Structure 1
Amino acid sequence: MRPDFDPLDDPPWAMQLVVRAEKAGPPAHGAVCEAAAAAVVRLLTDPRAVEPDGEWRAAVHAWESRRIRKVTRRARGVRWPEAQALPGVTVEHAGAQVRAFPPAPVSDVPPQLAKLQVAGLDLAEAERPPPPPEAPYAAIALNPDVAMTTGKAAAQCGHAAQLLLRQGKKKHVAAWLDAGARVHLTRDVPWRTCVKEAAVAVRDGGFTEVPPGTMTAIAWIVR
C-alpha cells in the first residue's frame, strides 16, 4: 500500500470553484477569496444540499466523508456562461464572481469545467479593501507567512468557511446564516491575535503550493 494512501479518500473527491477573471478589469484578490468562501457556504446550505431528497445531498455527504478538497479554476469570455449553465451557486461580491459546484470525484469533472485552467490565478489586491460588514459575519485570516496564489487562497478561505459552518457554535452559526452569511477577509489584525480569536483552523493537505500540515487560514464569527 502506498504510504500516502487514504482509504477514506479513494476515489478522491473535490468541490470545483470557478472564478470569473476577464482580462479587462479582473477582480481583486480579497474579493475573490471572500466570494469563494460565501459560495461554499451557500452551496452547503442550499436546499438541494440539505433537504432529505435534495439532489446534492448524497454528493455533499460523500465528499465530507473524505478530505474536503477544493479546486479553483478561472473562466473568461464564453467559458464563464458555459460554467454558469451547470448546476451550482454563484456569488457576486465586490466586483468578483465565483461559482461553486456540487462536489464529485476528481475523475468525473464535467468537460465544461475540466477545460478551465487551474494554475496561474494570481490577482492583485484592491488599493482600498472594503471595511468589515455589519456583524454578525465570518472573519477569515490568511497566514501572512505562507505564499499562496489567489486560486489557492480562495480554496483555503472556502475550507475555513466550511469548517466554521460545521464546527462553530450552533447559535453563532445560525445568527451568521440568518444575517446572510457575510464573509470578510481580515487584513489589518496581527496574525497572532487572529489565531487567538479563531474558532477553526485549516491545515493544508499539501497537494499544491504549500507543505502538508501548513496552517493556511483561520476563521471565527464576529458578533
Structure 2
Amino acid sequence: MSAQPEEAAVREPVLAPLGARYSGAPAVIPPEADGVVRAMPVILRIERELPPRSALLEAAAQAALAVCVDPRAQGEWYESLAAWVDGRIRKIARRARGAHWAAVQELPGVTVEVDGAEARALLPGPVDAVPKTVSRLQIGGTDLPPDEPGPVPDAASLIVVNPAVDMTVGKAAAQVGHASMILGAVRGWTEAPRFAVRRDQELWEALLAREDVVCVRDAGFTEVDPGTITCAAVPAR
C-alpha cells in the first residue's frame, strides 16, 4: 500500500482559520492577499413549480458547509477552499432549472435536498474564471414568496434571517451559507447537519441573547449596507 503524501497528513481542517477568526471579537477581514477575488457559486433549483423559500434556504445553508467538510476538502479540493477561506467567503447564488440544473451536477460540489427543494454549492474559485455552465445562469430575476415552515425541529441547527432586512432569495441563500460555515467552523464540525431557516422577530431576539450565537455581518457589496447583521445562527440543543 502506497504512503499518503506528507502534506495531506499535516493539513489543518480547511475551516480552521475561519473558526479562529470568529471565535473572539468581531472579525476584521483583510482583502485577499493575492488580489484574486474568489466566490463559491450556490445554485438554487427553481423550476416552474416554485420550491418553498425556507426549504430552499435550508438546502443552501447545508450545501455550503457540506462542501467544506466533505472528505475531498482535505484532498483534491483543499487548495481551492483554503485560498477562498483565507479571504472573504463570498458566495454568488444563481438559479437553474431543467437541463441547466442537470449540467451543474457535473461540476465539483455538493447537492442537498430539503423537503423537495434543492441547492448545489460548488467548489469556490476566481469570479473572473467561472465555468460557462455556471456563468450562463441568472443571478437574479426570480424571487420566492414568504412561507410558513412551522416549528423548528429539535435536531436542527437554527439560522434566523434578520426580519428587519429585506433580501432576495439569492442574497438570503448566500447569507445563510455564510452562517452555516461560520457556525460549523466555530464548533469544529466535521459533518454538515440539517438546518432550519426562519425569519421571525421573536426567534431573532432570542438568538441574539444567546452566548453561543454567531452573526453574519455583511460586507455591503449588494442589497444591504456594510456591517448589517443579516442572520444569526446557533447549534441544535
TM-score (structure 2 length as normaliser): 0.82
Aligned residues: 206
Asked if 1:86 is matched to 2:107, the reply is: yes
Aligned residue number for residue 191 of structure 1: 204
State the shift of 1:9 in Å: 6.7
CA-based RMSD: 1.8
- 2:235 aligned with 1:216: no
What's the counterpart of residue 200 of structure 1?
Answer: 214
C-alpha displacement of 1:27? 0.7
Q: Runs (4+) of structure 1 moved beyond 6 Å?
A: none
SS at match of 2:235: strand
Matched, 1:47 2:75: no
Q: Distance in 1 between matches of 2:234 and 2:131?
A: 34
2:153 counterpart of 1:133: yes
Match of 2:95 in 1: 74
Q: Distance in 2 between matches of 1:75 and 1:19?
A: 6
Structure 2 partner of 1:11: 36
Cα shift at 1:7: 4.7
Q: Check conservation: 2:110, 2:121, Cα contact below 8 A.
A: yes
Q: Does the residue aligned with 1:222 lie in a helix, a strand or coil?
A: coil
Q: Which residue does the alignment assign to 1:148?
A: 167
Distance 1:183-1:146 versus aligned 2 partners, 3 A rule: same
Contact persistence 1:206–1:212 (CA under 8 A): yes
Kindly provide the CA deviation profile for residues 32-76 of structure 1, in whole angstroms up to 9, marking residues without a partner as x: 1100000011111101002xxx11111110000010000000001
Deviates more, 1:211-220 or 1:7-16: 7-16
CA distance in 2, matches of 1:110, 1:100: 14
Q: What is the letter of the counterpart of residue 26 of structure 1?
A: L
**Equivalent residue in structure 2 for 1:28, among 44, 52, 63:** 52
5+ residue gaps in structure 1?
none
Give the drift of 1:131. 3.1
> What amino acid is the match of 2:123?
P
The 1:85–1:7 alpha-carbon spacing in structure 2 relative to 1, beyond 3 Å, is closer
Amino acid at match of 1:181: P
CA distance in 2, matches of 1:146, 1:187: 10
Identical counterparts, % of pairs = 45
